[in-house]
Structure 1
């Protein structure tokens, strides 16, 4: 069973609500239209798209190196370790490990973006594990252009109960 209701919200817009009710579910579809000229032609509202001219630049103006990323990671971790109630001062908890990793990843990624390197995509991965005398091997692979892309890794033991492995990748997008 299909039904259509039309509501006029003024002289320049028309909302059309379509209700379709199959046997066991109900769905509502709302379409918004705006008046474009005096001939009463209607076009769907859409967000304006930003168009960029191609630059045909195949190499960066300034390369984001692993050393810069390593220094930034060290700075972010040192700042958090200096805080008295910082999350790195807490004992390891499996319940909170995901929150730790998400918080650290967001801090590092935001700081990498704030450096202002154009056309670089930054990927940050953090693994938080408890220190119980076990061994751990981590491996990662990526397809990259070794001239412009780089990575860094850092291992941190902020307290005796946990260990953090941080991987940061910078990938130049042409």
Structure 2
């Protein structure tokens, strides 16, 4: 970061976190990597980590400068059960935002959430 960026406290419109763009990044990666996947409890940890890293890298390339990205991936076995998830954050409603997507196949479900927190 150079000194000319040091006092910017709001992102310009081009660089503001856009949930629709991020959701499309998530959707593309998850469907590509999990469409034919079968639930395996031994692989879920590495699968989740790998998905989170891949999503983070793709979202970073989308041009959200000065945003701290937090990616949460939950993968579970699909047995027809219901799952409820919630999260709570303290942030600036003018600059910070999130995007999420849910994926199901016959064997597993996956919920990916990306939080974009502006770095002042």
TM range (shorter): 0.7 to 0.9
CA root-mean-square deviation: 1.7
Q: Which of 78, 85, 107 is equivalent to 1:161?
A: 107
Cα distance in structure 1, aligned partners of 2:34 and 2:110? 12
Report what 1:112 is aligned to: 59
1:73-112 correspondence to structure 2 within 5 Å: 73-78=26-31, 80=32, 86=33, 88-112=35-59
Partner of 1:59: 10
Asked if structure 2 preserves the Cα contact closer than 8 Å seen for 1:129 and 1:163, the reply is yes
TM-score for the superposition, normalised by structure 2: 0.88
TM-score by length of 1: 0.62
Question: Is 1:172 paired with 2:118?
Answer: yes
| Contact 1:87/1:100, CA 8 A, preserved across alignment | no
Rg larger in structure: 1
**Secondary structure, in 3 states, of the residue corresponding to 2:24?**
helix
In the alignment, structure 1 residue 131 sits paired with structure 2 residue 84: no
Consecutive unaligned residues in structure 1, runs of 5 or more: 1-50, 81-85
Answer yes or no: is 1:122 the counterpart of 2:93.
no
- Which structure features the higher share of helix residues? 2
The whole-number CA distance in structure 2 between the counterparts of 1:88 and 1:105 is 16
Point out where structure 2 has 5 or more consecutive residues left out of the alignment. none
Looking at secondary structure, tell me which structure has more strand per residue: 1
Secondary structure of 1:121's partner?
strand
**Shift >3 Å, 4+ stretches:** none
Partner secondary structure for residue 170 of structure 1: strand
Q: Distance in 2 between matches of 1:100 and 1:88?
A: 13
